[in-house]
Amino acid sequence: MLDKLFFKRKNPENNTLLEGNIPSHVAIIMDGNGRWARKRALPRIAGHHEGMKTVRKIVKEANKIGINVLTLYAFSTENWKRPRDEVDFLMKLPGEFLNTFLPDLIKENVQVRIMGKKELLPMHTIKAVDEAIKKTENNTGLILNFALNYGSRDEITGAVKTIASEIKKGNLDPSQIDESLIESYLMTQGLSDPDLLIRTSGEVRLSNFMLWQLAYSEFWFTEVFWPDFSEEHLREAVSQFAQRGRRYGGV
């Protein structure tokens, strides 16, 4: 069904799928790692570790489908409230992921980015992501954007503060404030808004994720826990997206 709908023709150059309404930017709230582990009587961190493997699978598939930007909510500004051991483990995951998969990501022309308050991350996490950003900065394929220590209210608050201080310094006049100016102060500066938001694990809320950028996005929810999320699930979400009519407030 999916193939019939829009994956009719392949680009002979790189085998990406061409036709149809493929979302350019997909954002994912990767939820359910803890419940996945509990179901198996495993510690929560086992769920996060399995979730890391899912990230690898989904990045590969997103690239294959022809998605341009994949933003993944890996750690929120609220996640510091979790037990110390769990936070420490989550902070080690970007390093482990990149140690294992960076050579493949480079081969696949993936560009790694992060958005969030990077300076509050442990030094080893900063080093791992900085290295990946540097080594992939000239890649032109899928943009893999990790939201790490990211919170949308924090992001918007930061933007408002910077705009206010630019006004105070005389560099900006309030009459110049419009949507595109605000966007230029957000952490997604230069990226298009997500076309499709996916949240796993049956929760149906935004949890402080990309509140500005998701204003007109299509939402797709699944009961599946993140470690069980597969290539097929991504294709199903993309397929359903292709069938939706987006009106942006018009008719």
Side-chain-side CA neighbours of residue 223 (13 Å): 0
DSSP-derived pairing of the beta strands 218-221 and 196-199 = parallel
> Closest Cα to residue 25, out of 59, 73, 69, 72?
69
Determine whether the annotation assigns residue 49 to a binding site.
Answer: no
SS3 (DSSP) at 155: helix
Residue nearer to ligand FPP on the CB measure, 28 or 67: 28
Residue nearer to ligand FPP on the CB measure, 77 or 79: 79
**Interface mask toward ligand FPP for 21-60; x: CB under 6 A:** ---------xxxxxx------------x--xx--x-----
> Closest Cα to residue 245, out of 224, 216, 208?
216
> Closest Cα to residue 52, out of 93, 92, 11?
93
In this chain, which of 23, 66, 94, 151 binds ligand FPP, going by CB under 6 A?
Answer: 94
Determine whether the annotation assigns residue 212 to a binding site.
Answer: no
Cα-based distances in Å from 198 to 55, 118, 140, 233, 237: 13, 24, 24, 10, 8
Determine whether the annotation assigns residue 40 to a binding site.
Answer: no
Total site size for ligand FPP, rule CB under 6 A? 19
Return the residue nearest ligand FPP (CB atom): 34
Which residue is catalytic, options 63, 79, 145, 149? 79
Annotated active-site residue 79? The verdict is yes
By CB under 6 A, which span of 93-101, 109-117, 121-129, 164-172 interacts with ligand FPP? 93-101
C-alpha–C-alpha distance, residues 189 and 77, integer Å: 19
Determine whether the annotation assigns residue 80 to a binding site.
Answer: yes
Q: Indicate the DSSP class of residue 209.
A: S
In this chain, which of 63, 71, 77, 79 binds ligand FPP, going by CB under 6 A?
Answer: 79
CB atoms within 10 A of CB 243: 9
Q: Does 226 bind ligand FPP (CB under 6 A)?
A: yes
Amino acid, res. 44: R
Question: Which residues are known binding-site members for substrate?
Answer: 32-36, 44, 48, 76-78, 80, 82, 199, 205-207
Mind telling me the catalytic residues? 31, 79
Given the rule CB under 6 A, which residues bind ligand FPP?
Answer: 30-35, 48, 51-52, 55, 74, 79, 90, 93-94, 97, 146, 201, 226
Binding-site positions for Mg(2+) read 31, 218
